[in-house]
Structure 1
């Protein structure tokens, strides 16, 4: 079929579980897009609040899919995708929302080789006040053919669920998402596998909002070890899925690819330092992880000064006494744990060195 941008149908799939208080805002943002070939699918993952009533109030303006049993992120995505018809598909978390121009901008940037498009999001609080940008503006997206990064370190610079759009052809090749391995973090599966089937395009402006609140899965400030362990195990699931999918297209992923990924190594160090008893890799050592992290940092697509600072951070965590190492880990990974003076210095360094 001839590729014509202005004829591309788009599906926005909203995945909801007990977010009734945010759901109306999310649905309205999808319905109010300036692009007119948009279908809105709302998947309710067996919520126990009044989400069903909120969804029902939209009648035929949305496709409603109500799951009888809670299955998590992957199951909700799978349900929504099965009901969708768009050539471009967005998965929107129910506590987030899009700006009216989002789909128009996505379609304008799309081409026939695009498997995935990513864009920045404003970080907002519960009252929609803008706090920051995600990913930070000083961190460049990886674009184009990112397969070499995936094959080397099983990650590239991308974003979260609500800042992503996918081609239907790429999703057809990788869906359904394994529901048990990706009960949370299903976007990690999608961004890891979709680039095997086309290019990644990026938009540097904010096309929506990522709402931070006390119930986000990504908020574990008081449980650093638990958060780190979950992320390490999630990375292992991603690597396994990538290895299997890559084999299908004649590619090979090294078994130790995660050891060249600074983000994975940060979390693995945190898991080891904070809760060694439950750490998932028995033979890990602080020094070996820190050394790998320092080397991996110097290969990142950021400024030389930022790479050097990150490498120095890894080495300090590996070499300093355990108590000091834990403090330094916490200060980097949980912003709320930083002393006031360090928070000010960190913010200054971020903008000076961006």
Structure 2
């Protein structure tokens, strides 16, 4: 049986330092893929890097910078594959990634999702994302989406989508999702088919000072952005669910531990700018503890996360802030604790 064509779209903005590894990793796949590189008007020499590959890739140079979702929309419009994977230019894939995505595919699948290795700026493996004690969701995930607006998923580089599903949800709303195309896609695509999961990492998800996942040490600003991003996701979710006659919980975030920890951080670090007038630490802490214990993680991780919520909800503010900072900002943790936690997770995997 002939494999469907997999299009891999590399999305780049000022990642010239990492871009060659991303492109080389796609060209090294053990099955032939359509390779598209979209440059979102970089100013750091990325164009020369891309042009050096000549006809090995399809290069698209946007005339103006539009943000991540605009670049993803551009790449999707250029692609022809029945399956499309969007690769962040600071990440990379292992040589068998495409083969494993194709092997996981079957009729009715709208999204394949896989774990990734967390790597540092030099590509050294530090951890696994999501951690192994958090099972990746598979099958019909619409129940979790409709009740709490989330299910166990991954980030851009670990996601591949059926073109038939993307045709239902593209283009991505560029203003609402300018920095997080995966947040939109992973929220609405599963409404159009099943999710298949690959439990072992298919590539490297790079954490470094320049990427969005590590932006700003301002905890309140970052938390507010993520909470606002969730509200945009809920709007998109209601839209696409409504098209199929499906209802969404009026307040899905109140059952979602990930949303609640960001909301608590926003409240604790900058109450004046917090966007929910009725929020109280105790209410969010209790809701977060309940959501943690109801989650699909290992019991140890559930208990640990629930404990963090209770600390953040009921201890003095300075203690609550420290607990949230350690949970949400990796660089704030003592190095020995961070190293030990990562080591334990790798051993468990």
Taking structure 1 as the reference length, the TM-score comes to 0.94
Task: Give the Cα–Cα distance (whole angstroms) in 2 for the partners of residues 221 and 65 of structure 1.
Answer: 30
Equivalenced residues, count? 349
What's the offset of the Cα at 1:353?
8.5
Task: Report which stretch shifted further, 151-160 or 294-303.
Answer: 294-303
Task: Give the Cα–Cα distance (whole angstroms) in 1 for the partners of residues 78 and 346 of structure 2.
Answer: 44
Tell me, which stretches of 5 or more residues in structure 1 are unaligned?
none
Change (3 A) 1:7 1:343: closer
Is 2:141–2:194's contact at 8 Å kept on the other side of the alignment?
yes
Is residue 301 of structure 2 the alignment partner of residue 306 of structure 1? yes
Partner of 1:283: 278
Task: Give the Cα–Cα distance (whole angstroms) in 1 for the partners of residues 344 and 25 of structure 2.
Answer: 35
1:120 to 107, 115, 121: 115
What's the offset of the Cα at 1:347?
5.4
What's the offset of the Cα at 1:240?
0.5
What's the offset of the Cα at 1:171?
0.4
Is 1:122–1:130's contact at 8 Å kept on the other side of the alignment?
yes
Task: Report which stretch shifted further, 170-179 or 118-127.
Answer: 118-127
Tell me, which stretches of 5 or more residues in structure 2 are unaligned?
none
Task: Give the Cα–Cα distance (whole angstroms) in 1 for the partners of residues 164 and 225 of structure 2.
Answer: 30
Task: Give the Cα–Cα distance (whole angstroms) in 1 for the partners of residues 335 and 59 of structure 2.
Answer: 46
Partner of 2:35: 40
Is residue 217 of structure 2 the alignment partner of residue 222 of structure 1? yes
Is 1:221–1:334's contact at 8 Å kept on the other side of the alignment?
no
4+ residue runs over 6 A deviation:
351-354
**1:117 counterpart SS class:** strand
Partner of 2:15: 19
Cα deviation 1:269-308 (Å, max 9, x = unaligned): 0011011122122221111111111111111001233222
C-alpha root-mean-square deviation of aligned residues, in Å?
1.7
What's the offset of the Cα at 1:155?
0.3
Taking structure 2 as the reference length, the TM-score comes to 0.96
Change (3 A) 1:340 1:187: closer
**2:111 counterpart SS class:** strand
Partner of 1:242: 237
Q: For residues 39-188 of structure 1, what are the structure 2 equivalents within 5 Å?
A: 39-188=34-183
Change (3 A) 1:34 1:345: closer
Task: Give the Cα–Cα distance (whole angstroms) in 2 for the partners of residues 257 and 326 of structure 1.
Answer: 25
2:6 to 4, 10, 13: 10
